[in-house]
Amino acid sequence: MPVKIRLQRHGKKGKPYYWIVAADARSKRDGKYLEKLGAYNPNTNPATVELNVDNTVTWLQNGAQPTDTAKNLLSYKGALLKNHLVGGVRKGALTEEQAEAKFTAWLEEKEGKIQAKSDGLSTVEAKAKADALAAEKAVNEARIAANAPAPVEEEATPEAAEATEEAPAAEAEAPKEEK
């Protein structure tokens, strides 16, 4: 019986959520499976992947073939690396302790990268919120200034009065053009 490690879709329309399962290759996409190995949520940023690495490595050692997407997820969580290291231990190239040390070092580095990405996303989001708030405050201040009553002019100076009287006279003196 050929076994595949593949994704099984759950969730509603437009909001996919996947289980990572070991299933018979002949079974339907969302049908019967042999073992649930983890879950994958692509709706979050960065995507959330939960995986039982030890059970996944056991299935890989027994000949299960991952699909392309499942292979990317297994690589992302380090299951393929651990499978590789277990093969090295079995051949005698590494000791169990060396393999475990390499795997934990890789996991720590990967967690650091994921944390840096989510920190970067949160700072960008906070900056966008601050910019939106500043823009909204500017719009509110402009609206308040536009709705405020105009200051009442007490008395016009004689120079200003003369200027306003001369402007209509200048318009009257200009010759009108005929069409």
Domain ranges of the chain: 3-94
Task: Work out the mean pLDDT of the chain and round it to a whole number.
Answer: 85
Task: Give the tens place of pLDDT for each residue, 99-112.
Answer: 999 999 999 999 89
Q: Is the pLDDT of residue 166 over 80?
A: no
- Give me the pLDDT at residue 7, please: 94
3-94: what fold?
S16 Ribosomal Protein; Chain: A; (3.30.1320)
- Res. 76 pLDDT band, cuts 50 70 90: very high
Q: Is the pLDDT of residue 159 over 70?
A: no
| Residue 47 DSSP one-character state | P
Task: Give the tens place of pLDDT for each residue, 125-140.
Answer: 889 999 999 999 988 9
SS3 of the chain: helix, strand, coil, percent, to 5: 55, 20, 25
C-alpha distances in Å from residue 31, one per residue of 41, 67, 68:
19, 16, 19
- Give me the pLDDT at residue 162, please: 61
C-alpha distances in Å from residue 28, one per residue of 31, 59, 107:
5, 19, 33
- Give me the pLDDT at residue 122, please: 85
